[in-house]
Amino acid sequence: MMNRLEKYFELKQSPTKNIQAMYVWIDGRQQLRSKTKTLNFQPKSISELPTWTTDGHSTYLTEINSEIYLLPIRMYNDPFRGDNNRLIFCETLLEDFSRTKSNTRHSCNLVMDMVAKQHEPWFSIEQEYSLLDGNDRNKPLGWPTGGFPGPQGPYYCGVGTNRVFGRDIVEAHYRACMYAGVKIAGENAEVMPSQWKFQIGPCPGILIGDDLWMARFLLHRIAEDFHVSVTFDPKSIPGDWNGAGAHTNFSTKAMREKGGMAVIESACKKLEKNHAKHIVKYDPNGGADRSASVRIPRQVADDGYGYLEDRRPSSNMDPYVVCEQLVRTICLNE
């Protein structure tokens, strides 16, 4: 696919006009959408970008045929088109400029602003996912047709063609995130063959949700070039195969300072009291891991300060919902 496009991408663009801006947004079913418009200027800040519209009914954002506003909220470099082209991440608003039901970012941002000055919340998220064969979307990439690979054990952080599947996609995604400006911290092969993980963060406040969603978009778009699909299903393969999660690390300024262990322990107790409420928020479909816990990493225990790790969120979690809930419980005592 890229060989066919190569000669067209060699055509030069003016550095100050005819910029391609790909608008990216979350639809009503928590899937990503995008479309592109031409700008006749090089945007330097998000405030310069025009609000756009899209079909609300076709993107599951409204029950009737009506337009939805796409409000730019974050700008990234475009790793697919290069040059001065941009990816524009957007919130979705109804015709009266109120937020759509699926726009969970709006509420999360309000909460982050409330606590930003006093608590300085930081997050990082470990996003697990699986790659599926382009010709058989029910089969993980590299698995034998009609059968199964060997038992789990050699695949986690593995090396070799009989242990690792899809590394070219993972490497392309890593580099694309760095080019775009997404704060990616690392990646590794996971326990189930064709299952991988990337880490986003640490990010302050609302940025964690924006960067995670953009990283997901980049992964889907890159896999498209390789004729492979991506699933964030918490249990993509039934049976004795590892599921997928999105462990969420959280800290406040007080947790990160010497003596922060007492603050971390207090936060863990707050989370314990609100466990049932969090599980519902983390995955309304029931995919969150009820047996997992909130834990204090070994290095944090040794240092006496740092962060806590919430291992309960499922891989298809909404980062805005999860991070808002952590802040409400730990910082606002809700």
CA-to-CA distance for 257 and 263, rounded, in angstroms? 10
Sorted by sequence, the CB contacts under 8 Å of residue 310 that are 6+ apart come out as 247, 248, 249, 250, 271, 294, 322, 326
16-103 and 110-330 have identical folds? no
Helices 319-330 and 275-282 sit at what angle, rounded to 10 degrees?
160
Token pair 């990216």 is found at 24
Residue 282 predicted with pLDDT over 80: no
More confidently predicted of 251 and 137: 251
Q: Report cis status (omega within 30 of 0) of the bond before 121.
A: no
> If you ran DSSP here, which 8-state letter would residue 46 be given?
G
Q: With 60 as the cut, is the pLDDT of residue 286 above it?
A: no
Average pLDDT over residues 160-168: 95
Report pLDDT for 283: 65
- The pLDDT confidence band at residue 2, using thresholds 50, 70 and 90, is low
In this predicted structure, what is the pLDDT of residue 29?
95
Mean local confidence (pLDDT), 89-107 = 96
Superfamily covering domain 110-330? Glutamine synthetase/guanido kinase, catalytic domain (3.30.590.10)
Supply the pLDDT for residue 212. 98
Q: Minimal CA–CA distance to 131: which of 241, 31, 236, 228?
A: 228
Q: What is the pLDDT of residue 290?
A: 47
Listed by start position, the domains of the chain span 16-103, 110-330
Give me the chain's average pLDDT, please. 93
Q: Which of 120-129, 208-217, 258-267, 289-298 has the lowest mean pLDDT?
A: 289-298
Residue 278: the pLDDT is: 81
Express each pLDDT in 165-200 by its tens digit: 999 999 999 999 999 999 999 999 999 999 999 999
CATH code for the domain defined by 16-103: 3.10.20.70
The average pLDDT across 78-84 equals: 94
What is the structure's pLDDT at 12? 84
Q: Are strands 122-132 and 229-231 parallel, antiparallel or unpaired?
A: antiparallel
**Residue of higher predicted confidence among 252 and 289:** 252
Give yes or no for a contact between 125 and 182, defined as CB atoms under 8 angstroms apart.
no
Distance in angstroms between the alpha carbons of the first and the last residue of the chain = 51
Identify the sign of the CA torsion 301, 302, 306, 309.
negative
Q: In whole angstroms, give the CA distance from residue 50 to residue 11.
A: 26
Question: Per-residue pLDDT for 79 more than 60?
Answer: yes
pLDDT: is 309 or 13 the higher one? 309
Q: Which two tokens stand for residue 13?
A: 């663009």
Residue 14 has pLDDT above 90, yes or no: no
User: Quick one: pLDDT at residue 259?
Assistant: 95
Higher pLDDT, 210 or 273: 210
Whole-prediction pTM = 0.94
Residue 16 has pLDDT above 60, yes or no: yes
Mean pLDDT of 239-252: 95
Higher pLDDT, 257 or 291: 257
What average pLDDT does this structure show over 269-283? Answer: 81
Tokens 């609000």 belong to 51
Q: What percentage of the chain's residues is helix, strand, coil (to nearest 5)?
A: 30, 25, 45
Q: How far is CA 242 from the centre of its chain?
A: 20
Helix (H, G, I), strand (E, B) or coil at 16: coil
**291 pLDDT higher than 70:** no
pLDDT in the model for residue 10: 85
What is the residue type of 76?
Y
